[in-house]
Amino acid sequence: MSAPLRTPICDLLGIEYPIVSAGMGGVALAELAAAVSEAGGLGTLGLAAFGREAIISEIAAARARTQKPLAANILIPFLRPGIVEAIAATGISALTFFWGDARDHRAEIAIAHRAGIKVIWQCGSVDEARWARAAGVDIVMAQGFEAGGHVRGTTTSLVLIPELRDAIGDLPLLAAGGFADGRGLAAALALGADGAVFGTRFLAAQEAAAHPAYKQRLLAANATDTLHTTLYDLGWPDAPHRVLRTDLVERWEAAGRPASGSRPLEGLVSARAQRADLEIPLVNYTVMPPTDYMEGDCGGLPHYAGHSCSLLHEIIPAGDIVRRIATEAQTVIEKRLLKLISH
């Protein structure tokens, strides 16, 4: 009988399994993050562009559901003064940053470190990972091109993970992009990562705040239904992202892919979001994905999804996803990989 799967990242973060749910802006909220953490992974709150009050109340809501380690994620382009200080005061265990040069954010990293928070930096290239290391982050997160949501680089996970491992020495490394099950986790570990981050997989969890119709589309889709584009640019221009090809995307393609300003149904407010201190009219082509706290028609919003949507077959509780990934990775290593060298 083998010991349960553990990597150095488990001790560093105080978690049972090297399984992390991605910080997904507006859809990875308290219920999802807490469920992942409670099951032994690291649940991440996708706080993206939330204001101070919303951040504090979301973290408190997650904390009310679990006493286990939790992470928060913020996007550098939306970082406002005082936000990192506010998060640092909440007792969160880890903070994931995305979309920036870590060397320009040593002050924020220091604030997190003073509060005992581990800093994770999501990177899409070797250069970014080197900069993150130089800035003193605790964990580098490799994001492969097949990832859902905003995609920083152009190299897929199979090459990016070992490339980053070679570049950062023995600094802890997480792998994101294309992972949906225990086979993926075992592969990430084989490539040099200390754990894997799952975004699209947890988007289809019962607790994710994604709109029910969006979850159904994810189940029906496969990798070839995704598109890497800069189409959904209102609120965050020139930032490539991977989305599902919806009716609106098809209309835009049929119209010859017109530039921003002259796209089909542009300027139309079709949906409205309401949550905490948030009350936003949602114009088509905005960055906000369809959520279960929206009213109206979400067809004009980005249905972010990674290639890993090919591997989703059901919507189940996040805790079951964590346990299944852990069990399957263990089985893959024990029954498949170890067998190859023990005959």
Query: CB neighbours (10 Å) of residue 172?
Result: 22
Q: What is the length of the chain?
A: 343
With respect to ligand FMN, which residue has the nearer C-beta, 306 or 319? Answer: 306
Closest CA to 192 of 228, 168, 211, 215: 168
With respect to ligand FMN, which residue has the nearer C-beta, 26 or 338? Answer: 26
Closest CA to 298 of 267, 274, 273: 273
Least Å distance between CB 258 and ligand FMN?
25
- Could you give the maximum distance between any two Cα atoms of the chain, in Å? 65
With respect to ligand FMN, which residue has the nearer C-beta, 157 or 284? Answer: 157
Query: CB neighbours (10 Å) of residue 1?
Result: 3
Query: 3-class SS at 244?
Result: strand
With respect to ligand FMN, which residue has the nearer C-beta, 63 or 211? Answer: 211
With respect to ligand FMN, which residue has the nearer C-beta, 133 or 303? Answer: 303
With respect to ligand FMN, which residue has the nearer C-beta, 34 or 141? Answer: 141
The whole-angstrom separation of Cα 289 and Cα 282 is: 10
Least Å distance between CB 146 and ligand FMN?
6
With respect to ligand FMN, which residue has the nearer C-beta, 186 or 203? Answer: 203
Least Å distance between CB 337 and ligand FMN?
22
Tokens of 250: 């098809």
Residues that bind ligand FMN (CB under 6 A): 22-25, 27, 46, 48, 73, 75, 96, 98, 122, 143, 147-150, 176-179, 197-201, 203, 289, 304, 306, 308
Tokens of 261: 């300003």
Least Å distance between CB 99 and ligand FMN?
7
Alpha helices in the chain (DSSP H): 8-13, 30-38, 52-65, 83-88, 106-114, 126-134, 157-168, 182-190, 200-203, 212-220, 247-254, 318-331, 338-340
Strand 70-75 relative to strand 94-98: parallel, antiparallel, unpaired? parallel
With respect to ligand FMN, which residue has the nearer C-beta, 313 or 335? Answer: 313
Least Å distance between CB 170 and ligand FMN?
23
Query: 3-class SS at 149?
Result: strand
The closest residue (CB) to ligand FMN is 199
Least Å distance between CB 14 and ligand FMN?
21
CB within 8 A of 80, min separation 6: which ones?
51, 52
Tell me if 322 sits within 8 A of 206, measured CB to CB: no
How many Å separate Cα 166 from the centre of its chain? 23
Least Å distance between CB 103 and ligand FMN?
18
Least Å distance between CB 169 and ligand FMN?
23
